[in-house]
Chains A and B, each alone.
Chain A
Amino acid sequence: MKSKASAKPKTKRAASKKSVAGNGYSGMVELRLYVAGQTPKSLAALANLKKICEEHLTGRYKLHVIDLVKTPQLAQGDQILAIPTLVRKLPVPIRKIIGDLSDLEKVLVGLNLRETGIVN
């Protein structure tokens, strides 16, 4: 399950009030989710992530799900230790979020989708 990308043409700034794409970043958000087999944590992480993306990054994210059981050599590149790990490759700087992504607020902060103090 290499990719789950939904690449729609760039939309104008997100309609949702809640979402601010990283300090005015309006490009594509590139995400990688590292899992190791179909473990409950991995499955939970994937489900949570999909939900968040659809809700907050509609149309402007790319998501790769990498199963390290199948491609262990990829673990080194992104310095994966914890499973599951979500890596935001773009925009830079790289951010990593580990865990099953069950805490929505933390994920949004981690992905820089919610700027603290910015409300509009």
Chain B
Amino acid sequence: MATLKVRHSEKEKPHALEKSLTGIAGFDQITNGGLPKGRPTIVCGGPGCGKTMFAMEFLVRGATEFNEPGVLMTFEETGDEMTKNVASLGFDLKALATRKKIMMDYVKIEPAEIQETGAYDLEGLFVRLQYAVDKIGAKRVVLDTLEAIFSGFANSGMLRAEIRRLFRWLKDRGLTTVVTAERGDGSLTRYGLEEYVSDCVIFLDHRVTDQVSTRRLRVVKYRGTSHGADEYPFLIDDQGFSVLPSSSMRLNHTVSNERISSGVPDLDAMLEGKGYYKGTSVLVSGTAGSGKSSLSASLANRSCSDGRKVLYVAFEESFAQAARNMRSIGINLEKHRKSGLLRFEAWRPTQSGLEMHLLRIHKLIEEFDPEVVIIDPVSNLMMGNPHEVHSMLMRLMDFLKMRQITAMFTSLTEGSRKEFEQTEVGISSLIDTWILVRDIELNGERNRGIYVLKSRGMAHSNQVREFVMSQKGIRLLPVYIGVGTVLTGSARLNQEAREKADLLIRQQTVEEKMRARERRRKAVEGQIAALRLELADEENESTLLAAEQLNKAERMAQDRFEMSALRGGKSNSAGRATKVG
């Protein structure tokens, strides 16, 4: 986050207000370039809201990054106290002071010591400021709780005149100034300082909702320039102040056709055989123990093996635990962590509010610059107002997309099957690829089914697969899809066995039928043969009969002839004899 580049828009109007980068992460983005250059800005808010930190970071970054030395005038804390306070942010005020980058002046106001007699003014303040500014050639000034002077002097009319003069004075010298002020009742500042500073007013807020504290920043007013008007969450941690800019207004991230393997060949196969698109957001949702983390680990494992840097943010498991668990499915996370490709960050979701988590993730990404980010599970971040959660996650996803980071979020869903696809409606519309892992409970077993609910821009499989984890990794088996049901596990095996048996039986029946027909055929054929024989017999018989008949007739004729011969003529008998012969 140290070097934040702000793109100066080439459309910037020629006489646009000149701005001074603060170097505060995110702030320069929402203000399109920082604070108004050479003018005073009021930073106001309640106690402990981070006003001083904002001011200090503005000063220190100015001195260290933009070569703009700065004067720190404190009215409540001594230089030593201030040095200690900001040391926690990694700022070394002492060193900066010796290098003449920063000049500190503690203005002590002790009303008890002071007696007023007659007319006076605050020229002493101007003298001191002038002296400090001249000494180091300061470009920036911080007046930390200028309002403290109101407690020291009774003549408020004079004070107001002097404050007005002070702001004029700062402006005339072109000093970019941050003035901190305490919030008042019903007004931005207790003493109405905002009346005098008309250029830029920033309001910081620290509120606690549901026992979770959130810091927010709002640019109340920024004359002569456009600025983000929302409330932006911010964070103060060991690296200073950072503001989380809300989602970019435009949807113009570049897209890539490059694909990233999911680490599960069978899942890749469901995604056109190639895996996810690079730079898209993948949501894996499912009930407890459905294998979400395993899918995440597979992606991490594969990406690391391909030489990509992976940031794994876990809210449920420590690294040791995750590494051990993943070893059971043949994934060695330890190796990747050692090689530096895997950055595993685990912290409790209850540790802070949503914004803090997201800011932390932001910062990790800025720092580590990964190609793949896994958040396991994102559902743990879903606390508080759903609308807020939605906008926050949208910001995060936008940010990831802008950086062309492939992101995987896992999400724990609860409740009945029907709600599966509803619980995350909040974020599902932001997601490019949504994989659902769900339990299928049947016959006293719980098995896992996986399917790709949506995947933008690819012809993904519409199948439900069975999700099986073993020592060898994750495999997705085709499930039995029968009469209106999807069967998995032993039920699937059962069904398959049953089908096999059925098939056998059917085959046997067919064979039996075939045999019966054969037999019948043979029987019929036998009958045909018998009939034929009968017919032939009958035919024979009738021929014989005919022949016999003829013989008989001839014999009778012969007999008749012989008889006649016996009775008379010889000639006839000769003729007869030849006839008969």
Measured CB to CB, the residues of A under 8 A from B are: 34, 36, 39, 41, 44-45, 68-69, 72-73, 75-76, 79-85, 93-103, 106-107, 109-110
CB distance from B30 to the nearest CB of A (A): 36
How far, in whole Å, are A7 and B437 apart by their CA atoms in the complex?
A: 96
Residues of B within 8 A of A41 (CB): 118-121
Q: CB distance A72 to B118 under 8 Å?
A: no
Question: C-beta contact mask, B112-127 vs A, less than 8 Å → 1, else 0?
Answer: 0111111111111101
How far, in whole Å, are A91 and B152 apart by their CA atoms in the complex?
A: 23
CB distance from A4 to the nearest CB of B (A): 20
Q: CB distance B131 to A107 under 8 Å?
A: no
Which range holds the interface residue count of chain B?
20 to 34
Q: CB distance B124 to A36 under 8 Å?
A: yes
Q: CB distance A98 to B113 under 8 Å?
A: no
How far, in whole Å, are A85 and B119 apart by their CA atoms in the complex?
A: 11
Residues of B within 8 A of A76 (CB): 105, 128
Q: CB distance B115 to A36 under 8 Å?
A: no
CB distance from A53 to the nearest CB of B (A): 15
In terms of DSSP, what is the predominant structure of the interface of chain B?
mixed
Residues of A within 8 A of B119 (CB): 41, 44, 99-100, 102
Q: When the two chains form the complex, which single residue of A75, A102, A106 contacts B115, counting CB atoms closer than 8 Å? A: A106
B153 at the binding interface (Cβ < 8 Å): yes
Q: Which of B105, B116, B117 counts the most chain A CB atoms within 10 A? A: B117
Q: When the two chains form the complex, which single residue of B118, B131, B149 contacts A81, counting CB atoms closer than 8 Å? A: B149
Residues of A within 8 A of B113 (CB): 93-96
Q: CB distance B128 to A83 under 8 Å?
A: no
How far, in whole Å, are A75 and B110 apart by their CA atoms in the complex?
A: 15
B107 at the binding interface (Cβ < 8 Å): yes
CB distance from A42 to the nearest CB of B (A): 9
Q: CB distance B120 to A82 under 8 Å?
A: yes
Q: CB distance B108 to A110 under 8 Å?
A: no
Residues of A within 8 A of B152 (CB): 81
Residue of B nearest to A39 (CB): B123
Query: 26 interchain pairs (CB within 8 A)?
Result: A72-B128, A73-B131, A75-B128, A76-B128, A80-B124, A80-B128, A81-B125, A82-B114, A82-B120, A82-B124, A83-B121, A83-B123, A95-B115, A96-B113, A96-B114, A97-B114, A97-B115, A98-B115, A99-B118, A100-B117, A100-B118, A102-B117, A103-B117, A103-B118, A106-B117, A109-B115
Residues of B within 8 A of A44 (CB): 118-119
Residues of B within 8 A of A106 (CB): 115-117
How far, in whole Å, are A45 and B121 apart by their CA atoms in the complex?
A: 13
Q: CB distance B117 to A75 under 8 Å?
A: no
Known: A81-B149, A82-B122. A36 touches B117 (CB 8 A): no
CB distance from B97 to the nearest CB of A (A): 14
B53 at the binding interface (Cβ < 8 Å): no
Known: A79-B107, A81-B109, A81-B122. A110 touches B127 (CB 8 A): no
CB distance from B443 to the nearest CB of A (A): 85
CB distance from A41 to the nearest CB of B (A): 6
Q: CB distance B115 to A96 under 8 Å?
A: yes
Residue of B nearest to A106 (CB): B117
Residues of A within 8 A of B122 (CB): 81-83
Question: C-beta contact mask, B131-160 vs A, less than 8 Å → 1, else 0?
Answer: 100000000000000000100110000000
How far, in whole Å, are A80 and B385 apart by their CA atoms in the complex?
A: 51
Q: CB distance A107 to B117 under 8 Å?
A: yes
Residue of A nearest to B75 (CB): A81
Q: CB distance A85 to B124 under 8 Å?
A: yes
CB distance from A38 to the nearest CB of B (A): 12
Q: CB distance A99 to B128 under 8 Å?
A: no
Residues of B within 8 A of A97 (CB): 114-117
Residues of B within 8 A of A39 (CB): 123
Q: CB distance B131 to A99 under 8 Å?
A: no
Residue of B nearest to A95 (CB): B113
Residues of A within 8 A of B114 (CB): 82, 96-98
How far, in whole Å, are A44 and B118 apart by their CA atoms in the complex?
A: 10
Question: C-beta contact mask, B252-296 vs A, less than 8 Å → 1, else 0?
Answer: 000000000000000000000000000000000000000000000
